[in-house]
Chains A and B, each alone.
Chain A
Amino acid sequence: MKYLAIVFMFSMSLMAATSEVVQYMKELETTAKAENRAFNGFDAARGKEIFTSTHTGKQGKPMACTSCHTLNLSNPGKNALTGKVIDPLSPRANPQRLTSTKEVTKWLRRNFVDVYNREGTAQEKGDVLAYIMKN
């Protein structure tokens, strides 16, 4: 029993998100399935592509998530417009990350619009979260 508990805790730490955010990802999964029958789970590799590729953003200029967060999620980023330092996105580098669904939904909503000029789909959001969790 004790062993099981340890294994459980270890796997939770591997998930690098609190239960609240894990629950949110399950909701995203349900929506993603409803929107796309072929959906077969979130994929960090797809998330990386979403995160690192350049798009015409809200301002009509080329923009990527990495424009502010940089390519290394363990490093601090910098707001491209204001210059304000952004704490690392990686939950390993910054334990505050992926601990609040309220924060996660807010930033996914805002930043998809800024970079893609539209909100992300459930699958895209889940893919990005899977990518962040792995880093």
Chain B
Amino acid sequence: MKTVLNLSVAALVLAGSIYLYAGDDYEEHGHHVSSVAAKPMTQRDKSAMALYTKECGSCHFAYQPEFLPKRSWDKTMNTLDNHFGTNATLDPTDHKTIQGYLTTHASKSDRMTGMGGEVAIRISETPNFKREHREIPQKMVAQAEVKSFANCTACHTKAAGGSYREREVHIPNYGNWE
């Protein structure tokens, strides 16, 4: 599953696409660059990812680091004592490992163009995200099964594996998006 994500990142960088979430666009780019091997994950990367998924994923979906640039992850990790209104502090060793993982795999492109110099810590506030979700009516998001745009897996059935294709979207009580 991680390979899918790595390939998609490679695809994005190579194609110069800003459409990380785009369903079928994303797939086409994937085909164009499928012969390009993504950088394999080291054992250390894998265990750092497992730690990130366990620690951060115990309260919310463990968003792929590629959704935000390094400065966003640094800001998030440096303010864990007040993380969206909760204390999410970590043991110092784990903190360092997770910050390293997030910043190493952060988006290399600027996902915050048009934010007036602000550093986003909510993925859902980045212009990319907003554009990709602009057609989603509020009622589909506000319902109990979803709660907010922070809950990727409520609709993106393969989000945990790093795949956000449009045809994999299933909105609770409303069905497929396509």
**Chains A and B belong together in one complex:** yes
Q: Are B60 and A84 in contact (CB under 8 A)?
A: yes
Query: Are A109 and B87 also in contact (CB < 8 A) when A82-B147, A82-B150, A83-B151 are?
Result: yes
Chain A 90-135 interface residues, beta-carbon cutoff 8 Å to B:
102, 106, 109-111, 113-114
Complex Cα distance, B60 from A102, in Å, reads: 20
- Contact A114 B87, beta carbon cutoff 8 Å: yes
Q: Which residues of B contact A59 (CB under 8 A)?
A: 85-86
Assuming the A-B contacts A82-B151, A83-B147, A83-B151, are A110 and B60 also in contact, with contact meaning beta carbons closer than 8 angstroms in the complex? no
Verify B84–A81 contact, CB threshold 8 A.
yes
* Cα separation A82 to B147 with both chains bound (whole Å): 7
The interface on chain A, measured as residues whose beta carbon lies within 8 A of the other chain's beta carbons, has a size of 14
Chain A residues with Cβ below 8 Å from B78 are: none
Q: How large is the interface on B (under 10, 10 to 19, 20 to 34, 35 or more residues)?
A: 10 to 19
**Does A109 contact B147, Cβ atoms closer than 8 Å?**
no
Q: Complex formed: what's the CA distance from A113 to B83 in Å? A: 12
In the complex, the answer to whether A110 meets B151 with C-beta atoms within 8 Å is no
Known: A83-B147, A83-B151. A58 touches B87 (CB 8 A): yes
Query: What is B's interface to A at a CB cutoff of 8 Å?
Result: 58-61, 81-82, 84-91, 144, 147, 150-151
Can you identify 18 A-B contacts, CB atoms within 8 angstroms?
A: A58-B87, A59-B85, A59-B86, A79-B59, A81-B84, A81-B85, A81-B86, A82-B59, A82-B151, A84-B58, A84-B59, A84-B60, A106-B91, A109-B89, A110-B86, A110-B88, A110-B89, A114-B86
